[in-house]
Amino acid sequence: MKRLIALFLIGAFAASCQFISKSPTDVFSVNMDTSISPANDFFDYANGGWVKKTPIPADESSWGIGNIVNEENNERLKTINEEAAEHGGDSIQKKIGDFWMAGMDSSHIEKTGLKYIQPYLESINNIQTIPQFMEMVGRLYVIGIPVLMDMNVAQDDKQSDKYAFRLSQGGLGLPDRDYYFNKDSATVNVRISYAVHIANILKLLGYDSTKTRAEANSIFTFETRLAMFSRELADMRDPNKNYNKMNLVELQKLSTQIRWQPLFTAIGIKNIDSVIVGQPEFFKSLDASLTSTSIQTLKDYLTYHLVNDFSDQLPEKFGREFFSFFKSLSGAKARKPRWKRVIASEQKAMGELLGQLYVRKYFDAASKKRYEQMANEIRDAFKERIQKLTWMSDSTKQKAIVKLEAIRRKIGYPDKWKDFSAMEITNENYLLNMINANRWWTNYEISKLSKPVDREEWFMFPQTYNAYYDPSNNEIVFPAAAFIVPGFKDHDLDDAVMYGYAGASYIGHEITHGFDDQGRLYDAKGNLHNWWSTQDSAAFAQRAAMIVKQFNSYEPLPGYHINGSATQGENIADLGGIEIGIDAFKKSNAYKENKIINGFTPMERFFMGYALSWMYKSRPEALRHQLMTDVHSPAKYRVNGPFSDVNEFYKTYHLKPGDGMFVTDSLRVKIW
């Protein structure tokens, strides 16, 4: 996957809707818990009422403002699909309608069973040697099944105007290496239910039921070996350490068992002279992992992943089996209805096509202007902050400003849409459509290797409630749905609220990513290239170490602390986003007019607006999952963590020693 720095990750979306406030003048009161002092726990003060009264829907693992937006968008996408299925229309609508019809046709899905992956299952069954196994790894990659390792095409970090082929650690069925080793009872239970699940899938495929447990354990042992040589989450952060460019002779030396050429040929790579290896020690370890595992286990490993990854497109018994395992990981109590699962797969297959229809119907051009202007103001505020920094030399400041001013901005939807016309989608079979879509994507990615870099490309869809900073393009990207507050029209929301909700939480956050522990290592042109003096780098690192320490101290679940090192980039972006959001806001009329609305001052509405953007709650399983795999801190700490560093917050809510949010001045983190 391309290394984007997104605002946050929502696991899975959807289910019954909980409304926030409806009155255009009162965004907050229904969500608040006024029995709590804002100085003691701002998250609970602003969102505690909502947290208390809102159940997490049975088919969700967490729930919050982003899910509510997604819920509304899911309904919109459903309408788009149903209309396309019923009336057809242009070639885009035809594709969408066909995908939808095939996906919803459960009786046909039951009837066709494994038909469209049968040739792959047979090829796997015929494997006798490791080179044949490797060729199969390539063939499965082509249809969207990543096994043994991750492969992708992305801009070369050190030459952002060229694409490069990347090899990274991968091949695990559990979400992170730590799931294979942590000793707490919850993680042990996940491992047990994973092994049972693998055995059940093999049983459904007709394996001899007396042997499936042993086979499942062998697959698990193989994955544990892969995990053993995989880097921890925090060790994936340093872009220099995860960039090891080598020619094919050097690559071959890493592992003698892997013949790369047949694998490259299988995935359609013709001529490359170099690759970027993320984690060389992982590839070095593959030799021993492969030779110490029986061919039968390697075959079963491929079979399991092929079937499991397509379980949603297969007869119900496969999807139900997957869910029986997934619930131990996510805590969700029920499966999502078919229509929502079809939309999720459709987004993966051709989300940008849905986006084209989505913006035709729902895009608000006036709001685009509003946030473009806000982005300009926030960028200017950041520039002033850089100029005033006491810890950075003038020469580094100048380069930082050059980079800041070069940041590209994309808001709403792409100027140039991807061309999906060659993707083969019919109303006949869901699994076949998904295989074809994945094949199209592999071809799309691999063909980049012979093309110039396309900086117009988007890596999110217009209908996505999220945003990202892309270091290789030095750009910030905000999809059309990013700034929605559910239940409100954009023009009904006052600026004070939106400088917090959109300005700090989205725009300021993404701009700051260009200057977090990773982003700062890329220059104005998007190249991984050191533009810092040694002294300035050290001064930054010292400040970053303080935020690592601050977040290490939080313990959202008993025994599970936030990983301050892995989350530092996001926490730096949150803190920076709030600081520059405040600076920009203070220059706005909404601040200067000093109007009281619903009893709140403008600055109070700013902080409340920011907290609204992190109104979420999670099941314990999902929270543990987040703490182990996600570079984003849990929602509550994305509010209370940075607020306790921000002086304006102390002024606004009159914090004093002893208050829950109070931190001694010398320990408050100041970076940007």
Q: CA gyration radius for the chain?
A: 25
Which residues face 640 on adjacent strands? none
**Smallest distance from Zn ion to CB 5, Å:** 5
Is residue 345 within 8 A of residue 76, CB to CB? The reply is no
Residues in the chain: 672
Q: State in Å, rounded, how far the first CA of the chain is from the last one.
A: 29
Distance of closest approach, residue 642 Cβ to Zn ion, in angstroms: 12
Is 166 or 638 the residue whose CB approaches Zn ion more closely?
Answer: 638
6 or 493, CB closer to Zn ion?
6
The minimum distance between CB 513 and Zn ion, in angstroms, equals 6
Name the residue nearer to Zn ion (CB basis): 4 or 154. Answer: 4
Quick check: 605 and 539 in contact, CB under 8 A? no
Question: Is the Cβ of residue 7 or residue 482 nearer to Zn ion in the bound state?
Answer: 7
- Specify the stretch interacting with Zn ion by CB under 5 A; choose among 42-50, 225-233, 286-294, 563-571: 563-571
The minimum distance between CB 539 and Zn ion, in angstroms, equals 23
Give the interface segment with Zn ion, choosing from 96-104, 144-152, 413-421, 568-576 (CB under 5 A).
568-576
Region from 37-45, 143-151, 571-579, 635-643 binding Zn ion, contact rule CB under 5 A: 571-579
Q: Enumerate residues 6+ apart whose C-beta is below 8 A from 181.
A: 227
Going by their DSSP bridges, the two strands 5-6 and 616-618 should be labelled as: unpaired
Q: How far apart are CA 616 and CA 447, in angstroms?
A: 40
Min dist CB 424 to Zn ion, Å, is 36
Q: Taking CB under 5 A as the criterion, which residues in 275-294 touch Zn ion?
A: none
Report helix, strand or coil for 668.
Answer: coil
CA atoms of 51 and 146, how far apart (whole Å): 38
Beta strands in 208-344 (DSSP E): 244-247, 274-277
Pair of tokens at residue 69: 């937006």
Distance from the Cα of residue 436 to its chain's centroid: 24
Cβ closest to Zn ion, residue 487 vs residue 634? 634
Q: Which listed range, 95-103, 317-325, 337-345, 570-578, lies at the site for Zn ion (CB under 5 A)?
A: 570-578
Stretch that binds Zn ion, among 3-11, 146-154, 202-210, 257-265 (CB under 5 A): 3-11
Tell me which residue of 4, 57, 22, 36 sits closest to 611, measured CA to CA.
36
| One character per residue 573-602, x = contact with Zn ion (rule: CB under 5 A) | x-----------------------------
In the complex, what is the shortest distance from the CB of residue 614 to Zn ion, in angstroms, rounded to a whole number? 12
Total number of residues that touch Zn ion (CB under 5 A) = 3
Helix (H) or strand (E) holding 41: none
The nearer residue to Zn ion, 187 or 466, going by C-beta atoms, is 466
Q: Which stretch binds Zn ion (CB under 5 A): 7-15, 288-296, 590-598, 599-607?
A: 7-15
Give whichever of 7 and 147 is closer to Zn ion, judged by the CB atom: 7
Residue 493's identity, in one-letter code, is L
Nearer to Zn ion, 41 or 470 (CB): 470
Instruction: Identify whether the C-beta of residue 17 lies closer than 8 Å to the C-beta of residue 71.
Output: yes
DSSP class per residue in 412-427? ES-SS----TTS---S
Question: What is the CB neighbour count within 10 angstroms for residue 373?
Answer: 11
Least Å from the CB of residue 413 to Zn ion:
21
Kindly state the smallest distance separating residue 64's Cβ from Zn ion, in Å.
Answer: 16
**CB closer to Zn ion, 7 vs 386:** 7
Minimum gap (Å) between residue 97 Cβ and Zn ion? 36
How near is the Cβ of 509 to Zn ion at its closest, in Å? 6
CA dihedral 326, 330, 335, 340 (to 10 degrees): -110
Nearer to Zn ion, 237 or 340 (CB): 237
Q: For residues 514 and 526, which CB has a smaller minimum distance to Zn ion in the complex?
A: 514
Torsions phi, psi for 364 (to 5 deg): -105, 100
Scanning 31-39, 198-206, 569-577, 652-660 for contacts with Zn ion by CB under 5 A, the matching segment is 569-577
Considering the complex, state which of residue 475 and residue 570 has its C-beta at the smaller distance from Zn ion.
Answer: 570
| C-alpha count within 13 angstroms, C-beta hemisphere, residue 226 | 24
The distance of closest approach from Cβ of residue 6 to Zn ion in the complex, given in angstroms and rounded to an integer, is 6
Beta carbons of 551 and 633 less than 8 angstroms apart: yes
How many other CB atoms sit within 10 Å of the CB of residue 416? 9
Binding range to Zn ion, per CB under 5 A, among 151-159, 264-272, 277-285, 562-570: 562-570
Helix orientation angle between 534-552 and 568-586, rounded to the nearest 10 degrees: 100
Minimum CB distance to Zn ion, residue 140 (Å) = 32
- Where does this chain bind Zn ion (CB under 5 A)? 7, 570, 573
